[in-house]
């Protein structure tokens, strides 16, 4: 039997609860597909800081690097806000693993599950059938640029500095991913930046334009200012197929789009590098307000596993099966965040039960 | 009679058309309130580039500085995209006037006109009565930070660089505006940044917290991550009263919020400095696609004039009258962007006619 090395990083908040359901699904897959998962667990974020004084240890990082795929929960919580050194906050662990594994391509689907179209704050006709793929640059930009920090000013006072920095090579490799993805979908890419205000955005626009002309002229390309993109996502989200963004704009725009769908608790994401393992995690955060109550929705985490099966473990069939089971389970059981009249209201384990039953 | 020096900068696209209606309203005010407007017109943006080779000339800037208030249309258009030097693009004229007049406080109401609540892509209950005030820092941050530019890399290739930079003094003066505004409204401020990723955001959070504790502890303050803010604006926009942001986050978030209201063509904004004239402009852009057709909605520009009357010219009564006339006019006439069954469909001048009739 094939053995896949899978690293699990449950993280903080609801992370451990939803990851428990991921493990149950993995056990089912082992039985059904005759594979074996060599599972390694580790800490990331605030829980790692509590245990080791650092949000991601070298040892955990080394095991992550040696795995075939990493499935993560989520990090952060108010108990660590401003309570640790800046380089030891929970998010620093996440940024470190992204950077060290060079996970430059963050794929974030913002799709509306038909069964949940009425859960959106938008009118049904604006979101039913919505299916946007964000291709967000994840290993560069203002998240990592130097110089950065808080400094004392000579005349008194302080200044906070961050640097947005993109090379042509960084832009081209993420744009390539967007064009390749578009070819497999609606064949349309919107590239969002603020070229009218930022030179880094101007370089972005120029390099995307060049790559498009040279290799992807069959794909429809539109440049859109990031502020206008934010507007258009609200006005008419279905006009989009693939949206290509840098790290920071992608953070805001993909979160807004995820919320538009009304299916936030359902959305997985993949972060891919250039060879090593991919990292798979829900789009939603650690939801400290409901952590430990057994009511969190595990679907985004389970669909993240499905993405791992498809993109890193070459098990597209198993991914299909998991996704189909999630759809089926939604016909009966629903966690609180997606509950509606006529459905059984279940907790985290109950939702896992329903998905396993459908499998 | 009192004389007010008002500078008009129609700009590009639909700017000249909507500004023509502003002028008609100004003429009515002169008659009704016994004041006189000493009007000076100038070019800004692409039209200034065509005429003078620069998007804002020193001469125009000097006249703007010497005025009591500046009412602007909008700048930019595809005919200049990438066709001029970067420091001569239309937007550079707008950034220059903001910087030179030190217009650090951009007030952007995102409110839903009751008559238009159904025009939103959001369900009526999410937006009816919506009234958010963005207080966006406008003279600093990544829009102006140095170093910036596109450089050749030693080993070949290029890099695009921008710098996010905020001093404590810059943060404190804009936060003060937000707290003062909140006291006159719902008494609640959400301060949005990415303190979990950017040190400039961390300094922002620290300084806002300190100012709040020292002088504004009667105002409710919440810190919110900018990506979560984007989500919450979609999920439940009515939770917000005043949103305090830096220049770049404010650009995206306020645009998204403006679109949520369904009233984009109606929204004015004010940019205030510390003494000199304020600049008043619609939130919407230059809409090149409909420019010159006489169909643009002049209401945002006319309401920008109302803001000028209130904040720069000490004519609150006249501002009230203009705002009331706009409300009244909406009961009958509507431009295409806000038209609905049962209303007369009018063009730019027709909308101006209806407002003048209501006055
Ligand atoms: C937790 C945080 C560092 C992270 C980010 O800003 O990238 C999160 O918001 C995300 O989008 O994955
Ligand atoms: C035109 C552009 C430079 C400007 C900005 O980015 O600030 C506009 O989007 C705005 O929000 O006023």
> In angstroms, rounded to a whole number, what is the distance separating the alpha carbons of residues B74 and B104?
19
Name the β-bridge partners of B5.
B38
CATH of B110-263, one of 3.40.718.10, 3.30.70.100, 3.40.50.300, 3.50.50.60: 3.40.718.10
> In angstroms, rounded to a whole number, what is the distance separating the alpha carbons of residues A261 and A233?
11
Angstrom CA distances, A325 to A109, A235, A320, A356, B284, stand at 19, 33, 9, 8, 45
- Residue B103 CA, chain-centre distance (Å), reads 11
- Residue whose tokens read 């620093």: A92
Q: Compute the half-sphere exposure of residue B94: CA atoms within 13 Å on the CB side of its CA.
A: 24
Active site residue B86: no
> In angstroms, rounded to a whole number, what is the distance separating the alpha carbons of residues B272 and A266?
43
**pLDDT per position as a tens digit, B320-352:** 999 999 999 999 999 999 998 899 999 999 999
Ligand nearest to the CA of B251: 2
- Do A30 and A310 touch, CB atoms closer than 8 A? no
Active site residue A255: yes
Predicted local distance difference test score (pLDDT) of residue A242: 98
> In angstroms, rounded to a whole number, what is the distance separating the alpha carbons of residues B22 and B70?
12
- Do A17 and A299 touch, CB atoms closer than 8 A? no
Name the β-bridge partners of A91.
none
- Do B270 and B278 touch, CB atoms closer than 8 A? yes
Task: Please give the CATH topology (third level) of the domain spanning A107-266.
Answer: Isopropylmalate Dehydrogenase (3.40.718)
Task: List every span in chain B annotated with CATH 3.40.718.10.
Answer: 1-104+273-359, 110-263
Q: Which atom of ligand 2 is nearest to the CA of B254?
A: 11
Contact state of B162 with A235 under an 8 Å Cβ cutoff: no
Ligand 2 centroid distance, CA of A166 (Å):
22
Q: Three-state SS string across A259-312, please?
A: HHCCCHHHCEEEEECCCCCEEEEECCCCCHHHCCCCCCCCHHHHHHHHHHHHHC
Distance from CA of A336 to the nearest CA of B (A): 16
- Do B14 and B342 touch, CB atoms closer than 8 A? no
Q: What is the per-residue burial (b if ≥16 Cβ within 10 Å, else e) of A148-175?
A: bebeeeeeeebbbbbbbbbbbebbbbbb
| Mean pLDDT, range B199-206, rounded to an integer | 98
Residue A23: count of CB within 10 angstroms of its CB = 18
Distance from CA of A150 to the nearest CA of B (A): 6
> In angstroms, rounded to a whole number, what is the distance separating the alpha carbons of residues B127 and B150?
42
Considering only CB atoms, which chain A residues are within 8 Å of B236?
121
Of the residues B80, B91, B248, which should be mutated to test ligand 2's pocket, given the most ligand atoms within 8 Å of the CB? B91
- Do A211 and A175 touch, CB atoms closer than 8 A? yes
* B354 membership: H or E segment, kind and range: helix B348-358
List Cβ neighbours of B159 (8 Å cut-off, separation of 6 or more).
A165, A166, A167, A168, A203, B150, B151, B153
Residue B343: count of CB within 10 angstroms of its CB = 15
Q: Residue A207: left if φ>0, alpha if ψ -120 to 50, beta else—which one?
A: alpha
- Do A130 and A112 touch, CB atoms closer than 8 A? yes
Predicted local distance difference test score (pLDDT) of residue A15: 97
List Cβ neighbours of A330 (8 Å cut-off, separation of 6 or more).
A113, A115, A116, A338
Let me know if B150 is exposed, middle or buried by CB neighbors in 10 A (0-12, 13-18, 19+).
middle
Structure tokens at A69: 């795929």
Active site residue B194: yes
Percent of chain B with pLDDT over 90: 93
Task: Assess whether pLDDT exceeds 90 at residue B84.
Answer: no
Task: Assess whether pLDDT exceeds 90 at residue B262.
Answer: no
pLDDT category, B103, cuts 50, 70, 90?
very high
- Do A282 and A269 touch, CB atoms closer than 8 A? yes
Predicted local distance difference test score (pLDDT) of residue A82: 80
Task: List every span in chain A annotated with CATH 3.40.718.10.
Answer: 1-104+273-359, 107-266
> In angstroms, rounded to a whole number, what is the distance separating the alpha carbons of residues A15 and A63?
19
Q: Residue B324: left if φ>0, alpha if ψ -120 to 50, beta else—which one?
A: alpha
Q: Compute the half-sphere exposure of residue B208: CA atoms within 13 Å on the CB side of its CA.
A: 29
List Cβ neighbours of A297 (8 Å cut-off, separation of 6 or more).
A18, A265, A266, A335, A336, A337, A338, A348, A351
Task: Assess whether pLDDT exceeds 90 at residue B114.
Answer: no
Predicted local distance difference test score (pLDDT) of residue A115: 85
Residue located nearest, by CA, to atom 11 of ligand 1 = A251
A161 upstream amide cis, omega within 30 of 0: no
- Do A136 and A247 touch, CB atoms closer than 8 A? yes
| Mean pLDDT, range B244-269, rounded to an integer | 95
**pLDDT per position as a tens digit, B274-286:** 889 999 999 999 9
Ligand nearest to the CA of B253: 2
Concatenating the DSSP letter of every residue in A91-134 gives: HHHHHHHHHHTT--EEEEEEE--GGGGGGSSB-HHHHTT-EEEE
Q: Helix axis angle, A316-330 relative to A299-311, nearest 10°?
A: 160
Q: Per the residue annotation, which of B255, B311, B328, B353 is the catalytic one? A: B255
Residues with CB under 6 A from ligand 1: A 76, 91, 94, 251; B 196-197, 227
Whether the CB of A331 sits within 6 Å of ligand 2: no
Whether the CB of B94 sits within 6 Å of ligand 2: yes
Consecutive 10-residue averages of pLDDT for chain A (359 residues): 96 98 98 97 97 97 98 94 89 97 97 90 96 98 98 96 98 98 97 97 98 98 97 97 98 97 92 95 94 96 97 96 95 92 95 97
- Choose among B91, B158, B234: nearest Cβ to A197: B91
Q: In what order do the strands lie in the sheet with A105-111?
A: A36-41, A3-11, A69-74, A278-282, A268-272, A105-111, A131-137, A242-245, A188-193, A220-225
pTM of the model: 0.96
pLDDT category, B18, cuts 50, 70, 90?
very high
Class of domain B1-104+273-359: alpha beta
> In angstroms, rounded to a whole number, what is the distance separating the alpha carbons of residues A6 and A308?
9
């Amino acid at each position: 039997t094939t053995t896949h090395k899978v690293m699990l990083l449950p993280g903080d908040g609801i992370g451990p609860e939803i990851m428990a359901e991921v493990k149950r699904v993995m056990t089912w897959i082992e039985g059904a597909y005759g594979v074996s998962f060599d599972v390694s667990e580790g800490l990331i974020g605030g829980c790692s800081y509590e245990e080791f004084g650092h949000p991601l240890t070298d040892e955990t990082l080394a095991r992550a690097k040696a795995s075939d795929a990493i499935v993560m929960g989520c990090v952060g919580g108010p108990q660590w806000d401003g309570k640790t050194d800046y380089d030891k906050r929970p998010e620093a662990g996440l940024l470190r693993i992204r950077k060290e594994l060079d996970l430059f391509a963050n794929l974030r689907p913002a799709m509306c599950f038909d069964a949940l179209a009425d859960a959106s704050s938008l009118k049904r006709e604006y979101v039913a059938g919505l299916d946007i793929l964000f291709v967000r640059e994840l290993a560069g930009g203002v998240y990592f640029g130097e110089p950065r920090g808080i400094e004392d000013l000579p005349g008194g006072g302080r200044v906070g500095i961050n640097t947005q920095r993109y090379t042509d090579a960084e832009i081209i490799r993420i744009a390539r991913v967007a064009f390749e993805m578009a070819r497999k979908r609606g064949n349309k890419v919107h590239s969002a930046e603020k070229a009218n205000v930022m030179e880094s955005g101007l370089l972005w626009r120029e390099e995307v334009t060049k790559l498009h002309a040279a290799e992807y002229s069959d794909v429809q390309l539109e440049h859109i200012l990031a502020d206008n993109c934010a507007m258009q996502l609200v006005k008419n989200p279905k006009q989009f197929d693939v949206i290509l963004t840098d790290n920071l704009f992608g953070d805001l725009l993909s979160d807004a789009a995820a919320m538009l769908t009304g299916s936030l608790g359902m959305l997985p994401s993949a972060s891919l590098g250039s060879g090593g393992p991919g990292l798979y995690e829900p789009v939603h955060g650690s939801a400290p307000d409901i952590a430990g109550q057994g009511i969190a929705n595990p679907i985004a985490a389970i669909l993240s596993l499905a993405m791992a099966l498809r993109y890193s473990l070459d098990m597209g069939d198993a991914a299909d099966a998991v996704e189909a089971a999630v759809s089926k389970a939604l016909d009966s059981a629903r966690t609180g965040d997606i509950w509606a009249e006529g459905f059984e209201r279940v907790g985290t384990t109950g939702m896992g039960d329903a998905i396993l039953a459908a499998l």
